Amino acid sequence: MLCLHNKIVLHKIWAINLKPVWHVCSLRMVANYDEVMKLALERGFYFPSCEIYADAPAGFWEYGPTGVNMKNKFVELWRRELVRRDGMMEIDGCQIMSKSVFVASGHIGNFTDPILRCTKCNSTFRADRYVTEKTGENVPERMADEEINALVKKYNLRCPNCKSEFGGVSRFNMMFRVGIGPAAEEAYLRPETCQTIFVDFARVFKTMRGRLPLGVAQVGKSFRNEIAPRQSLLRLREFYQAEIEVFCNPSRLDELPKFEEIKDTILRLSDGSSITEATAEEAVRKGLIPNKLVAYYLALLIEFYDKTGVDVRRSRYRRLSDDEKAFYASIAFDFEVETSIGWLELVACNYRSDYDLKGHGTTSKQNLEVVDPTDQTKVLPHVFELSMGIDRSIYTILEHCYYEDEKHDDRVVLGLKPYLAPVLVGILPLMTKDGLGEKARKIHSDLKLDFDTFYDESGSIGRRYRRLEEVGAPFAITIDQTTMQDDTVTVRHRDTMQQERVKTSELRQYMNNALAARN
Protein backbone atom coordinates (compact mmCIF):
# COMPACT_ATOMS: atom_id res chain seq x y z
CA MET A 1 0.00 0.00 0.00
CA LEU A 2 2.82 2.40 0.85
CA CYS A 3 5.87 3.29 -1.16
CA LEU A 4 9.30 4.31 0.07
CA HIS A 5 9.85 7.06 -2.49
CA ASN A 6 7.77 9.28 -4.77
CA LYS A 7 6.16 7.09 -7.37
CA ILE A 8 2.85 5.98 -8.81
CA VAL A 9 1.42 2.92 -7.12
CA LEU A 10 -1.63 0.75 -7.54
CA HIS A 11 -4.04 1.15 -4.69
CA LYS A 12 -7.01 -1.00 -3.82
CA ILE A 13 -10.41 0.21 -2.61
CA TRP A 14 -13.50 -1.76 -1.77
CA ALA A 15 -16.91 -1.35 -3.36
CA ILE A 16 -20.17 -2.15 -1.57
CA ASN A 17 -19.62 -5.91 -2.01
CA LEU A 18 -16.02 -5.51 -0.84
CA LYS A 19 -14.52 -6.66 -4.14
CA PRO A 20 -11.19 -5.01 -4.97
CA VAL A 21 -11.11 -2.15 -7.47
CA TRP A 22 -7.68 -0.89 -8.47
CA HIS A 23 -6.90 2.78 -8.95
CA VAL A 24 -3.72 4.74 -9.52
CA CYS A 25 -2.73 7.34 -6.96
CA SER A 26 0.44 9.09 -5.91
CA LEU A 27 1.55 8.38 -2.36
CA ARG A 28 4.63 9.59 -0.56
CA MET A 29 5.76 7.80 2.56
CA VAL A 30 7.27 10.53 4.69
CA ALA A 31 6.68 9.37 8.24
CA ASN A 32 9.48 9.77 10.72
CA TYR A 33 9.49 9.61 14.49
CA ASP A 34 8.74 13.34 14.97
CA GLU A 35 5.77 13.26 12.59
CA VAL A 36 4.28 10.20 14.27
CA MET A 37 4.84 11.83 17.65
CA LYS A 38 3.05 15.00 16.52
CA LEU A 39 0.12 12.99 15.18
CA ALA A 40 -0.08 10.91 18.36
CA LEU A 41 -0.23 13.99 20.59
CA GLU A 42 -2.69 15.94 18.44
CA ARG A 43 -5.08 13.07 17.75
CA GLY A 44 -5.17 11.41 21.17
CA PHE A 45 -3.16 8.25 20.50
CA TYR A 46 -0.70 8.62 23.40
CA PHE A 47 0.96 11.26 25.57
CA PRO A 48 3.26 11.55 28.62
CA SER A 49 1.91 10.56 32.02
CA CYS A 50 1.46 13.38 34.57
CA GLU A 51 2.49 15.88 31.90
CA ILE A 52 1.00 18.86 33.78
CA TYR A 53 3.61 18.37 36.54
CA ALA A 54 7.25 19.39 36.34
CA ASP A 55 8.40 16.37 38.37
CA ALA A 56 6.72 13.79 36.10
CA PRO A 57 9.15 10.87 35.77
CA ALA A 58 10.38 9.77 32.35
CA GLY A 59 9.40 6.44 30.83
CA PHE A 60 5.68 6.52 31.60
CA TRP A 61 3.17 7.16 28.80
CA GLU A 62 -0.60 6.89 28.59
CA TYR A 63 -2.96 5.98 25.77
CA GLY A 64 -5.66 8.43 24.83
CA PRO A 65 -9.09 7.49 23.42
CA THR A 66 -7.90 6.73 19.89
CA GLY A 67 -4.83 4.89 21.16
CA VAL A 68 -6.87 2.71 23.53
CA ASN A 69 -9.24 1.72 20.73
CA MET A 70 -6.35 0.83 18.42
CA LYS A 71 -4.45 -1.06 21.12
CA ASN A 72 -7.52 -3.10 22.09
CA LYS A 73 -8.13 -4.02 18.45
CA PHE A 74 -4.47 -4.97 18.02
CA VAL A 75 -4.74 -7.31 21.02
CA GLU A 76 -7.95 -8.83 19.68
CA LEU A 77 -6.27 -9.45 16.30
CA TRP A 78 -3.40 -11.14 18.19
CA ARG A 79 -5.93 -13.35 19.95
CA ARG A 80 -7.65 -14.20 16.69
CA GLU A 81 -4.58 -14.88 14.57
CA LEU A 82 -2.36 -16.57 17.17
CA VAL A 83 -4.16 -17.61 20.36
CA ARG A 84 -7.46 -18.90 18.98
CA ARG A 85 -6.01 -20.12 15.69
CA ASP A 86 -3.54 -22.36 17.50
CA GLY A 87 -5.87 -23.46 20.30
CA MET A 88 -3.85 -21.74 23.01
CA MET A 89 -5.04 -20.94 26.53
CA GLU A 90 -4.99 -17.44 27.98
CA ILE A 91 -4.50 -16.46 31.62
CA ASP A 92 -4.39 -13.15 33.48
CA GLY A 93 -1.86 -13.17 36.31
CA CYS A 94 -0.78 -10.80 39.07
CA GLN A 95 1.66 -7.97 38.46
CA ILE A 96 3.23 -8.18 41.93
CA MET A 97 5.00 -11.46 42.66
CA SER A 98 7.03 -12.89 45.49
CA LYS A 99 10.80 -12.62 45.71
CA SER A 100 11.09 -16.40 45.41
CA VAL A 101 9.70 -16.28 41.87
CA PHE A 102 12.56 -14.07 40.73
CA VAL A 103 15.19 -16.00 42.67
CA ALA A 104 14.06 -19.09 40.76
CA SER A 105 13.86 -17.26 37.42
CA GLY A 106 17.33 -15.77 37.77
CA HIS A 107 16.15 -12.17 37.63
CA ILE A 108 17.46 -11.28 41.08
CA GLY A 109 20.98 -12.16 40.04
CA ASN A 110 20.97 -11.63 36.27
CA PHE A 111 18.40 -9.01 35.25
CA THR A 112 20.91 -6.19 35.17
CA ASP A 113 22.22 -3.54 32.80
CA PRO A 114 25.78 -2.15 32.87
CA ILE A 115 26.08 1.47 33.99
CA LEU A 116 28.78 4.13 34.02
CA ARG A 117 28.69 6.76 36.77
CA CYS A 118 30.62 10.03 36.71
CA THR A 119 33.03 10.33 39.65
CA LYS A 120 32.27 14.06 40.03
CA CYS A 121 28.66 14.91 39.12
CA ASN A 122 27.22 11.38 39.58
CA SER A 123 25.54 11.43 36.16
CA THR A 124 24.64 7.87 35.15
CA PHE A 125 24.65 6.32 31.68
CA ARG A 126 23.77 2.93 30.23
CA ALA A 127 27.31 1.68 29.58
CA ASP A 128 26.81 -0.53 26.52
CA ARG A 129 24.80 2.09 24.63
CA TYR A 130 27.00 5.01 25.62
CA VAL A 131 30.20 3.26 24.53
CA THR A 132 28.58 2.11 21.27
CA GLU A 133 27.34 5.62 20.45
CA LYS A 134 30.68 7.26 21.20
CA THR A 135 33.02 4.71 19.59
CA GLY A 136 31.07 2.79 16.97
CA GLU A 137 32.15 -0.44 18.65
CA ASN A 138 29.47 -3.11 19.02
CA VAL A 139 28.99 -3.52 22.77
CA PRO A 140 26.41 -6.21 23.67
CA GLU A 141 24.68 -5.65 27.02
CA ARG A 142 26.11 -8.94 28.29
CA MET A 143 29.69 -8.00 27.49
CA ALA A 144 31.92 -8.51 30.51
CA ASP A 145 32.42 -5.45 32.70
CA GLU A 146 36.20 -5.70 32.27
CA GLU A 147 35.86 -5.50 28.49
CA ILE A 148 33.64 -2.41 28.70
CA ASN A 149 36.11 -0.78 31.11
CA ALA A 150 38.88 -1.47 28.61
CA LEU A 151 36.94 0.30 25.85
CA VAL A 152 36.26 3.30 28.11
CA LYS A 153 40.01 3.54 28.79
CA LYS A 154 40.99 2.92 25.16
CA TYR A 155 38.84 5.79 23.85
CA ASN A 156 39.34 8.00 26.92
CA LEU A 157 35.59 8.38 27.38
CA ARG A 158 34.46 10.97 29.89
CA CYS A 159 31.24 12.33 31.30
CA PRO A 160 29.55 14.49 28.63
CA ASN A 161 28.16 16.80 31.32
CA CYS A 162 31.28 17.78 33.30
CA LYS A 163 34.10 16.05 31.37
CA SER A 164 35.23 14.14 34.46
CA GLU A 165 36.27 10.48 34.51
CA PHE A 166 33.91 7.57 34.93
CA GLY A 167 34.18 5.05 37.70
CA GLY A 168 34.29 1.39 36.76
CA VAL A 169 31.28 -0.33 35.22
CA SER A 170 28.72 -1.55 37.73
CA ARG A 171 25.47 -3.46 37.36
CA PHE A 172 21.96 -2.07 37.94
CA ASN A 173 19.03 -4.42 38.56
CA MET A 174 16.03 -3.11 36.62
CA MET A 175 13.25 -4.63 38.71
CA PHE A 176 10.94 -2.45 40.79
CA ARG A 177 10.96 -3.60 44.41
CA VAL A 178 7.79 -3.16 46.49
CA GLY A 179 6.91 -3.81 50.13
CA ILE A 180 3.74 -5.76 50.96
CA GLY A 181 1.79 -5.04 54.13
CA PRO A 182 2.92 -3.29 57.35
CA ALA A 183 6.06 -5.43 57.50
CA ALA A 184 6.97 -4.40 53.95
CA GLU A 185 7.50 -8.00 52.88
CA GLU A 186 9.85 -7.99 49.89
CA ALA A 187 8.22 -8.50 46.50
CA TYR A 188 8.64 -7.19 42.95
CA LEU A 189 6.65 -5.85 40.06
CA ARG A 190 7.06 -8.41 37.30
CA PRO A 191 9.65 -7.45 34.66
CA GLU A 192 7.99 -9.78 32.14
CA THR A 193 4.55 -11.38 32.06
CA CYS A 194 5.83 -14.88 31.36
CA GLN A 195 6.82 -15.76 34.93
CA THR A 196 3.12 -15.92 35.85
CA ILE A 197 2.66 -18.47 33.08
CA PHE A 198 5.52 -20.61 34.36
CA VAL A 199 4.39 -20.71 37.99
CA ASP A 200 0.78 -21.42 36.89
CA PHE A 201 1.73 -24.04 34.30
CA ALA A 202 1.13 -27.17 36.40
CA ARG A 203 -2.37 -26.09 37.45
CA VAL A 204 -3.34 -24.93 33.95
CA PHE A 205 -2.06 -28.14 32.36
CA LYS A 206 -3.99 -30.28 34.85
CA THR A 207 -7.30 -28.42 35.03
CA MET A 208 -7.51 -27.77 31.27
CA ARG A 209 -6.40 -31.31 30.38
CA GLY A 210 -3.47 -29.99 28.41
CA ARG A 211 -1.49 -31.81 25.75
CA LEU A 212 2.00 -31.00 24.54
CA PRO A 213 2.76 -28.84 22.69
CA LEU A 214 0.61 -26.38 24.66
CA GLY A 215 0.59 -22.64 24.12
CA VAL A 216 -0.29 -20.45 27.10
CA ALA A 217 -0.76 -16.73 26.44
CA GLN A 218 -1.07 -13.59 28.53
CA VAL A 219 -1.55 -9.88 27.90
CA GLY A 220 -0.63 -7.40 30.60
CA LYS A 221 1.75 -4.83 31.97
CA SER A 222 5.37 -5.37 32.90
CA PHE A 223 7.73 -3.00 34.70
CA ARG A 224 11.41 -2.31 34.19
CA ASN A 225 13.36 0.45 35.86
CA GLU A 226 15.09 1.54 32.66
CA ILE A 227 18.22 3.63 33.11
CA ALA A 228 17.49 5.93 30.19
CA PRO A 229 13.89 5.62 28.92
CA ARG A 230 13.38 7.51 25.69
CA GLN A 231 11.40 7.93 22.49
CA SER A 232 7.91 7.64 23.97
CA LEU A 233 6.53 4.12 23.43
CA LEU A 234 9.84 2.62 22.35
CA ARG A 235 11.53 2.35 25.75
CA LEU A 236 9.21 2.52 28.72
CA ARG A 237 9.35 1.71 32.41
CA GLU A 238 5.73 0.53 32.42
CA PHE A 239 4.67 -1.24 29.24
CA TYR A 240 2.31 -3.77 27.69
CA GLN A 241 3.37 -7.23 26.60
CA ALA A 242 1.55 -9.99 24.74
CA GLU A 243 3.45 -13.14 25.55
CA ILE A 244 3.06 -16.71 24.38
CA GLU A 245 4.89 -19.60 26.02
CA VAL A 246 4.76 -22.86 24.07
CA PHE A 247 5.41 -25.86 26.32
CA CYS A 248 6.78 -28.75 24.30
CA ASN A 249 8.41 -32.16 24.47
CA PRO A 250 12.07 -31.58 23.50
CA SER A 251 12.22 -34.99 21.80
CA ARG A 252 9.30 -34.14 19.48
CA LEU A 253 10.17 -30.70 18.10
CA ASP A 254 9.96 -31.91 14.50
CA GLU A 255 6.77 -33.94 15.01
CA LEU A 256 4.32 -31.19 14.18
CA PRO A 257 1.54 -32.06 11.67
CA LYS A 258 0.28 -28.46 11.58
CA PHE A 259 3.65 -27.38 10.17
CA GLU A 260 2.15 -28.21 6.76
CA GLU A 261 -0.16 -25.18 7.13
CA ILE A 262 2.75 -22.71 7.05
CA LYS A 263 5.57 -24.54 5.29
CA ASP A 264 5.48 -22.14 2.31
CA THR A 265 5.43 -18.93 4.40
CA ILE A 266 8.44 -16.76 3.54
CA LEU A 267 10.77 -15.88 6.42
CA ARG A 268 13.47 -13.21 6.20
CA LEU A 269 16.39 -14.44 8.27
CA SER A 270 19.40 -12.33 9.19
CA ASP A 271 22.78 -12.77 10.80
CA GLY A 272 22.95 -9.01 11.34
CA SER A 273 24.74 -8.22 8.09
CA SER A 274 22.60 -9.80 5.36
CA ILE A 275 19.10 -11.18 4.92
CA THR A 276 18.22 -14.58 3.48
CA GLU A 277 14.68 -15.27 2.30
CA ALA A 278 13.45 -18.85 2.62
CA THR A 279 10.21 -20.70 3.14
CA ALA A 280 9.72 -22.15 6.59
CA GLU A 281 10.31 -25.60 5.14
CA GLU A 282 13.56 -24.55 3.42
CA ALA A 283 14.76 -22.77 6.55
CA VAL A 284 14.47 -25.95 8.61
CA ARG A 285 16.02 -28.13 5.92
CA LYS A 286 19.02 -25.79 5.55
CA GLY A 287 19.53 -25.46 9.28
CA LEU A 288 18.69 -21.73 9.34
CA ILE A 289 16.02 -22.54 11.96
CA PRO A 290 16.66 -25.41 14.40
CA ASN A 291 13.36 -27.31 14.13
CA LYS A 292 9.80 -27.29 12.82
CA LEU A 293 8.26 -26.07 16.07
CA VAL A 294 10.31 -22.87 16.08
CA ALA A 295 9.73 -22.36 12.35
CA TYR A 296 5.99 -22.84 12.77
CA TYR A 297 5.62 -20.09 15.34
CA LEU A 298 7.95 -17.70 13.48
CA ALA A 299 5.72 -18.19 10.43
CA LEU A 300 2.53 -17.55 12.43
CA LEU A 301 4.09 -14.36 13.76
CA ILE A 302 5.03 -12.99 10.34
CA GLU A 303 1.54 -13.76 9.03
CA PHE A 304 0.08 -11.88 11.99
CA TYR A 305 2.17 -8.76 11.43
CA ASP A 306 1.33 -8.79 7.74
CA LYS A 307 -2.31 -8.37 8.76
CA THR A 308 -1.52 -5.39 11.02
CA GLY A 309 -0.36 -3.18 8.15
CA VAL A 310 3.35 -3.45 8.96
CA ASP A 311 5.34 -3.79 5.73
CA VAL A 312 6.87 -7.22 6.33
CA ARG A 313 9.21 -6.68 3.38
CA ARG A 314 11.03 -4.39 5.82
CA SER A 315 11.26 -7.00 8.57
CA ARG A 316 13.76 -9.66 9.58
CA TYR A 317 14.38 -12.39 12.11
CA ARG A 318 17.84 -11.67 13.48
CA ARG A 319 19.51 -14.57 15.21
CA LEU A 320 21.27 -13.34 18.34
CA SER A 321 24.82 -14.19 19.26
CA ASP A 322 25.74 -15.66 22.64
CA ASP A 323 26.70 -12.16 23.87
CA GLU A 324 23.27 -10.78 22.94
CA LYS A 325 20.93 -13.53 24.13
CA ALA A 326 19.05 -13.23 27.40
CA PHE A 327 20.48 -15.32 30.22
CA TYR A 328 17.64 -17.85 29.99
CA ALA A 329 17.75 -18.41 26.20
CA SER A 330 19.65 -21.15 24.39
CA ILE A 331 18.47 -19.99 20.92
CA ALA A 332 17.08 -16.52 20.24
CA PHE A 333 15.67 -14.62 17.27
CA ASP A 334 14.55 -11.00 17.43
CA PHE A 335 11.72 -10.05 15.09
CA GLU A 336 12.79 -6.59 13.93
CA VAL A 337 11.16 -4.05 11.62
CA GLU A 338 12.84 -1.18 9.82
CA THR A 339 11.63 2.25 10.95
CA SER A 340 12.81 5.84 10.58
CA ILE A 341 15.02 5.39 13.65
CA GLY A 342 16.51 2.10 12.49
CA TRP A 343 15.70 -1.56 13.09
CA LEU A 344 13.26 -1.88 15.98
CA GLU A 345 12.77 -5.12 17.93
CA LEU A 346 9.06 -5.94 18.26
CA VAL A 347 9.14 -9.56 19.42
CA ALA A 348 11.76 -11.60 21.27
CA CYS A 349 11.56 -15.23 20.14
CA ASN A 350 13.47 -17.34 22.67
CA TYR A 351 13.95 -21.06 23.04
CA ARG A 352 14.20 -21.15 26.83
CA SER A 353 14.66 -24.96 27.04
CA ASP A 354 13.71 -26.19 30.56
CA TYR A 355 15.42 -23.23 32.28
CA ASP A 356 12.27 -21.80 33.84
CA LEU A 357 10.39 -24.92 34.94
CA LYS A 358 13.58 -26.44 36.31
CA GLY A 359 14.32 -23.29 38.30
CA HIS A 360 10.81 -22.99 39.70
CA GLY A 361 10.67 -26.71 40.46
CA THR A 362 13.94 -26.60 42.37
CA THR A 363 13.13 -23.44 44.35
CA SER A 364 9.53 -24.40 45.17
CA LYS A 365 10.39 -28.10 45.67
CA GLN A 366 7.48 -29.01 43.38
CA ASN A 367 7.61 -31.59 40.60
CA LEU A 368 6.59 -29.78 37.41
CA GLU A 369 6.90 -32.77 35.10
CA VAL A 370 3.83 -33.73 33.07
CA VAL A 371 2.82 -36.84 31.14
CA ASP A 372 3.05 -36.65 27.35
CA PRO A 373 0.06 -38.76 26.24
CA THR A 374 1.75 -39.51 22.91
CA ASP A 375 3.92 -42.16 24.56
CA GLN A 376 2.84 -41.87 28.23
CA THR A 377 6.30 -40.69 29.32
CA LYS A 378 6.98 -38.09 31.97
CA VAL A 379 8.74 -35.00 30.71
CA LEU A 380 9.81 -31.60 32.04
CA PRO A 381 8.64 -29.45 29.11
CA HIS A 382 10.88 -27.10 27.23
CA VAL A 383 9.55 -23.67 26.29
CA PHE A 384 9.58 -21.59 23.12
CA GLU A 385 8.55 -18.00 23.70
CA LEU A 386 7.07 -15.19 21.60
CA SER A 387 7.41 -12.08 23.77
CA MET A 388 5.70 -9.20 21.96
CA GLY A 389 6.01 -5.52 22.81
CA ILE A 390 2.53 -4.08 22.23
CA ASP A 391 3.58 -0.43 22.56
CA ARG A 392 6.43 -0.76 20.06
CA SER A 393 4.12 -2.59 17.69
CA ILE A 394 1.56 0.22 17.88
CA TYR A 395 4.25 2.79 17.09
CA THR A 396 5.53 0.77 14.13
CA ILE A 397 2.05 0.33 12.67
CA LEU A 398 1.45 4.08 12.93
CA GLU A 399 4.72 4.86 11.15
CA HIS A 400 4.26 2.25 8.42
CA CYS A 401 0.66 3.33 7.77
CA TYR A 402 1.30 7.08 7.74
CA TYR A 403 1.52 8.73 4.32
CA GLU A 404 0.93 11.97 2.51
CA ASP A 405 -1.09 12.22 -0.68
CA GLU A 406 0.78 14.58 -2.99
CA LYS A 407 -2.07 14.97 -5.44
CA HIS A 408 -4.38 16.35 -2.80
CA ASP A 409 -2.52 19.07 -0.93
CA ASP A 410 -0.28 16.56 0.89
CA ARG A 411 -3.20 15.43 3.01
CA VAL A 412 -2.00 13.37 5.95
CA VAL A 413 -3.56 9.91 5.97
CA LEU A 414 -3.22 7.09 8.46
CA GLY A 415 -3.90 4.08 6.25
CA LEU A 416 -4.86 1.63 9.00
CA LYS A 417 -6.62 -1.63 8.27
CA PRO A 418 -10.37 -1.23 8.98
CA TYR A 419 -10.23 -3.78 11.82
CA LEU A 420 -7.44 -1.80 13.56
CA ALA A 421 -8.75 1.72 12.97
CA PRO A 422 -9.83 3.43 16.21
CA VAL A 423 -12.75 4.92 14.27
CA LEU A 424 -14.29 2.79 11.54
CA VAL A 425 -16.65 5.42 10.18
CA GLY A 426 -17.43 9.09 10.67
CA ILE A 427 -21.07 10.26 10.54
CA LEU A 428 -21.17 13.73 9.01
CA PRO A 429 -24.31 15.76 8.28
CA LEU A 430 -23.61 18.23 5.48
CA MET A 431 -25.54 20.71 7.61
CA THR A 432 -27.66 20.43 10.72
CA LYS A 433 -30.81 22.14 9.40
CA ASP A 434 -33.64 20.74 7.25
CA GLY A 435 -33.66 17.51 9.24
CA LEU A 436 -30.11 16.48 8.22
CA GLY A 437 -28.80 16.66 11.78
CA GLU A 438 -31.60 14.48 13.14
CA LYS A 439 -31.14 11.94 10.34
CA ALA A 440 -27.37 11.81 10.94
CA ARG A 441 -27.84 11.29 14.67
CA LYS A 442 -30.32 8.47 13.95
CA ILE A 443 -27.77 6.71 11.71
CA HIS A 444 -25.10 7.21 14.36
CA SER A 445 -27.39 5.76 17.02
CA ASP A 446 -28.15 2.73 14.84
CA LEU A 447 -24.47 1.92 14.21
CA LYS A 448 -22.58 2.99 17.33
CA LEU A 449 -23.24 -0.09 19.47
CA ASP A 450 -21.73 -2.43 16.88
CA PHE A 451 -19.04 -0.26 15.26
CA ASP A 452 -16.63 2.45 16.33
CA THR A 453 -18.37 5.51 14.93
CA PHE A 454 -17.72 9.20 15.38
CA TYR A 455 -20.34 11.90 14.97
CA ASP A 456 -19.01 15.28 13.79
CA GLU A 457 -21.01 18.31 12.69
CA SER A 458 -18.35 20.95 13.43
CA GLY A 459 -16.50 22.80 10.66
CA SER A 460 -16.39 22.43 6.90
CA ILE A 461 -16.97 19.00 5.41
CA GLY A 462 -13.41 19.01 4.01
CA ARG A 463 -11.89 19.67 7.41
CA ARG A 464 -14.00 16.94 8.95
CA TYR A 465 -12.75 14.50 6.31
CA ARG A 466 -9.15 15.44 7.15
CA ARG A 467 -9.65 14.86 10.87
CA LEU A 468 -11.03 11.39 10.19
CA GLU A 469 -8.17 10.56 7.80
CA GLU A 470 -5.60 11.50 10.44
CA VAL A 471 -7.01 8.97 12.94
CA GLY A 472 -7.24 6.28 10.25
CA ALA A 473 -11.03 6.10 9.76
CA PRO A 474 -11.52 4.12 6.51
CA PHE A 475 -14.98 5.51 5.80
CA ALA A 476 -17.00 8.70 6.15
CA ILE A 477 -20.78 8.78 5.75
CA THR A 478 -22.21 12.10 4.60
CA ILE A 479 -25.88 12.87 5.07
CA ASP A 480 -27.14 15.41 2.50
CA GLN A 481 -30.34 16.61 0.85
CA THR A 482 -30.50 13.52 -1.34
CA THR A 483 -30.61 11.40 1.81
CA MET A 484 -33.91 13.01 2.73
CA GLN A 485 -35.33 12.11 -0.69
CA ASP A 486 -34.21 8.49 -1.29
CA ASP A 487 -32.72 7.36 2.05
CA THR A 488 -29.21 6.92 0.62
CA VAL A 489 -25.99 8.37 2.00
CA THR A 490 -22.59 9.09 0.51
CA VAL A 491 -19.86 6.71 1.67
CA ARG A 492 -16.42 8.21 1.11
CA HIS A 493 -13.31 6.00 1.04
CA ARG A 494 -10.33 7.31 2.96
CA ASP A 495 -7.58 6.09 0.68
CA THR A 496 -8.97 7.07 -2.72
CA MET A 497 -11.52 9.71 -1.71
CA GLN A 498 -14.00 7.99 -4.05
CA GLN A 499 -17.64 8.24 -3.08
CA GLU A 500 -20.65 6.04 -3.64
CA ARG A 501 -24.30 6.11 -2.69
CA VAL A 502 -25.44 3.42 -0.29
CA LYS A 503 -28.89 2.69 1.15
CA THR A 504 -29.02 3.39 4.87
CA SER A 505 -30.53 -0.07 5.35
CA GLU A 506 -27.34 -1.60 3.86
CA LEU A 507 -24.81 0.30 6.02
CA ARG A 508 -24.57 -2.37 8.72
CA GLN A 509 -23.73 -5.09 6.17
CA TYR A 510 -21.32 -2.71 4.46
CA MET A 511 -19.35 -2.20 7.68
CA ASN A 512 -19.43 -5.90 8.54
CA ASN A 513 -17.95 -6.71 5.12
CA ALA A 514 -15.18 -4.17 5.66
CA LEU A 515 -14.24 -5.71 9.00
CA ALA A 516 -14.34 -9.24 7.58
CA ALA A 517 -11.90 -8.41 4.76
CA ARG A 518 -8.70 -9.32 6.61
CA ASN A 519 -6.40 -9.43 3.58
List of residues 6+ apart from 422 with CB closer than 8 A: 65, 66, 67, 68, 69, 70, 73, 416, 452, 471, 472, 473
Query: Is residue 5 one of the residues assigned to a domain?
Result: no
Looking at the structure, do residues 96 and 206 belong to the same domain, yes or no? yes
Looking at the structure, do residues 297 and 246 belong to the same domain, yes or no? yes
Looking at the structure, do residues 118 and 167 belong to the same domain, yes or no? yes
Looking at the structure, do residues 154 and 194 belong to the same domain, yes or no? no
Query: Could you say which of 400, 432, 463 is where a domain stops?
Result: 400
Q: What is the pLDDT of residues 73-89, one digit of tens each?
A: 999 999 999 999 999 99
Looking at the structure, do residues 267 and 343 belong to the same domain, yes or no? yes
Query: Is residue 44 one of the residues assigned to a domain?
Result: yes
Looking at the structure, do residues 156 and 187 belong to the same domain, yes or no? no
As a 3-state breakdown, the chain gives helix, strand, coil percent values, each rounded to 5, of 35, 30, 35
Query: Is residue 281 one of the residues assigned to a domain?
Result: yes
Task: State yes or no: pLDDT of 458 exceeds 50.
Answer: yes
Q: What is the pLDDT of residues 151-170, one digit of tens each?
A: 999 999 999 999 999 999 99
- Check which CATH number belongs to the domain holding 396 and give it: 3.30.930.10
Per-residue pLDDT, 516? 83
Query: Is residue 490 one of the residues assigned to a domain?
Result: yes
Query: Could you say which of 173, 191, 212 is where a domain stops?
Result: 173
Looking at the structure, do residues 222 and 87 belong to the same domain, yes or no? yes
Is residue 397 within 8 A of residue 255, CB to CB? The reply is no
Looking at the structure, do residues 252 and 381 belong to the same domain, yes or no? yes
Looking at the structure, do residues 333 and 233 belong to the same domain, yes or no? yes
Looking at the structure, do residues 391 and 276 belong to the same domain, yes or no? yes
* Whether the bond into 213 is cis, omega within 30 of 0: yes
- Check which CATH number belongs to the domain holding 141 and give it: 3.30.40.230
- Check which CATH number belongs to the domain holding 439 and give it: 3.40.50.800
Query: Is residue 15 one of the residues assigned to a domain?
Result: no
Mean pLDDT of the region 452-479: 97
Give me the domain span that covers residue 164: 112-173
- Structurally, how many domains does the chain consist of? 3
Parallel, antiparallel or unpaired: strands 425-429 and 475-479: parallel
Query: Could you say which of 153, 173, 193 is where a domain stops?
Result: 173
The DSSP annotation for 443-509 comes to HHHHHTTTS-EEE--SS-HHHHHHHHHHTT--EEEEE-HHHHHHSEEEEEETTT--EEEEEGGGHHH
Per-residue pLDDT, 146? 94
Nearest CA to 13 out of 500, 442, 353 is that of 500
In terms of pLDDT, which residue wins out, 5 or 109?
109
- Collapsing DSSP to helix, strand or coil, 128 comes out as helix
Mean pLDDT of the region 102-126: 94
Mean pLDDT of the region 371-384: 93
User: Length of the chain in residues, anyone?
Assistant: 519
Query: Is residue 6 one of the residues assigned to a domain?
Result: no
